[in-house]
Amino acid sequence: MNLHSILLELTLIIVGAACLGTLFLYAKQPIIIAYIAIGMLLGPHGMALIDDAIHIEQIAHFGVILLLFIIGINLQPSKFIKLFRETSFITLFTSLCFGISAFLFGLLLRFDIHSSLLLGTSMMFSSTVVGLKLIPTTTLHHKRIGEVMTSILLLQDILAIIVIIFVTGKKSDYILVTFGYLIVKFVLLCVLAFAGVRWVVIPLLEKFSIIQEYTFLITLAWCLLWAEVAHLLGISYEMGAFVAGLSIASCPIALVISEHLKPLREFFLILFFFSVGAKLDFALELRLILAAIAFGGILVPLKIAIFGFVLQSSNESPKLQEELPVRLGQSSEFAILIAFSALSLGIIAKEVAMVIQIATLITFIISTYLVTSKYPTPISSQPKLLQD
C-alpha cells in the first residue's frame, strides 16, 4: 500500500463522513450512524472504492487505545478498585444471562452446539467504544453513573480477552491456570507502569512541563508503550492503555493531558466506526439476515431489562437504574473480533460470523438512537441534550 493510496483512502473516508454526517445532522440523526454507513457505502461490500479495510481498521484501533487511556487518566486507582468490587457481580451475572439468551437463539437457528456457544459468548458484552463515546465527559468522570459504567465495561473487556484467548487456541488445559496467568501478567503490568510513572514520568514532567509539545509527546509515548507491552503479554492493547492512563492519574497535569488528546481520539474513532461498516457483508440467506436483524432488535430491550433488574437489586439510585441500562444496551465490538477470529481459524461458518456482525451492528444503531433521543450526549442533534 503506497502513500498515495493511503492518503486517497483517508480523503474518501473523511470527506464522505463529513458529507453524510452533515445530512444526518440536518435530519436530526446520530452522527455515529453516518460513520458506519459511509463504511458500508465505500467498503469492499459496497461501492468498493476502498477494497480492503483491514489496514484502516488497524489505524482506527489507535482511537480505541486513546479512549481507554483518557478514561484511565481521569480515574483514581483507589476509586477504580472499589468500583470493581461493587460491580463484579453485576457484570458476571448479566454477561451470563446475555450469553445464555444468545446461545438459545443460535440453537433456534439450527446452528451446531459449537457455533451456538460462540454466538453466546460473543453477545455477552456491551460496547466500550459506543458506550463511552455517547456519554458526556463530565458525567463519565465526575458522576456515579460514569464510574459504574466504566468499571462494568472494563471488567467485560477482561472477560472478552479470556474468551478470545480460548477461541484463538492460546490456552492451557485448564481454565483456572489460564486465568491465573492472565491475572499475574496484569498485576506485573500495573506494577511496572506505576513504578515507571513514579521514577521516570513524574520527574520528567516536573522538569519540562512548561513545554506543551513535550508533555503531549511523553504522555502519548507512555500510552503506546504500555499498550504494546500489554499486547506482548497476551492481554490487550486497550487494557495496557487503560493501565498507562491510570498510572498517570495522580499527576497534577493529568486532566490537561486528557483534554489535549481528545481531538486526536475523535479522528481515529471516525475510522473505527468506518471499519465496522466496511466489514459488513449482507450476502446471506434472507432468512438469516432477517433473523440477525430480529435478534439484534430483541437483544437491546433484553439487555436493558436485565441490567435494570440487577441494578435495582443493587440499590442504585432510580436515575442510574433507568439511564445506565440504556447506555449499555448494545453488543460489543469484541463480538465482531471474536467472529473474525473464529472464522479465520475455521471454527465457525461464514454464515454464523455474519449473523454475529449484523446483529451487533443492529444493536449499535438501536442503542445509539435510544441514548441520543433520551439522554445527554456529546453528539446529540437536540440542543437540550447536547453536552460534552
Domain span including residue 266 = 13-174+262-385
As a whole number, the mean pLDDT across the chain is: 82
The answer to whether residue 108 is domain-embedded is yes
Torsion of CA 184, 186, 191, 195, to 10 degrees: 150
The answer to whether residue 140 is domain-embedded is yes
Neighbours of 26 (CB within 10 A): 9
Q: Which DSSP letter does residue 283 get?
A: -
Q: What is the pLDDT of residues 135-175, one digit of tens each?
A: 887 766 668 888 888 888 888 877 777 776 666 554 445 55
Q: What is the pLDDT of residues 246-271, one digit of tens each?
A: 888 877 777 777 777 878 888 888 88
Question: Domain with 76 in it: what CATH number?
Answer: 1.20.1530.20
The answer to whether residue 316 is domain-embedded is yes
Cα 268 to Cα 105: distance, rounded to the nearest angstrom: 34
Question: What pTM did the predictor assign?
Answer: 0.78
- Specify the number of domains making up the chain: 1
Cα 308 to Cα 200: distance, rounded to the nearest angstrom: 44
Q: Which has the closest alpha carbon to 96: 360, 296, 307? A: 307
Which is more confident, 228 or 163? 228
The answer to whether residue 69 is domain-embedded is yes
The answer to whether residue 198 is domain-embedded is no
Confidence of residue 214 (pLDDT cuts 50, 70, 90): confident
Neighbours of 190 (CB within 10 A): 15
The answer to whether residue 229 is domain-embedded is no
Residue 385 has pLDDT above 50, yes or no: yes
Q: Three-state SS for 386?
A: strand
Neighbours of 72 (CB within 10 A): 27
Cα 179 to Cα 72: distance, rounded to the nearest angstrom: 23
Q: Which has the closest alpha carbon to 314: 142, 94, 155, 86? A: 86
Confidence of residue 229 (pLDDT cuts 50, 70, 90): very high
The answer to whether residue 288 is domain-embedded is yes
The answer to whether residue 183 is domain-embedded is no
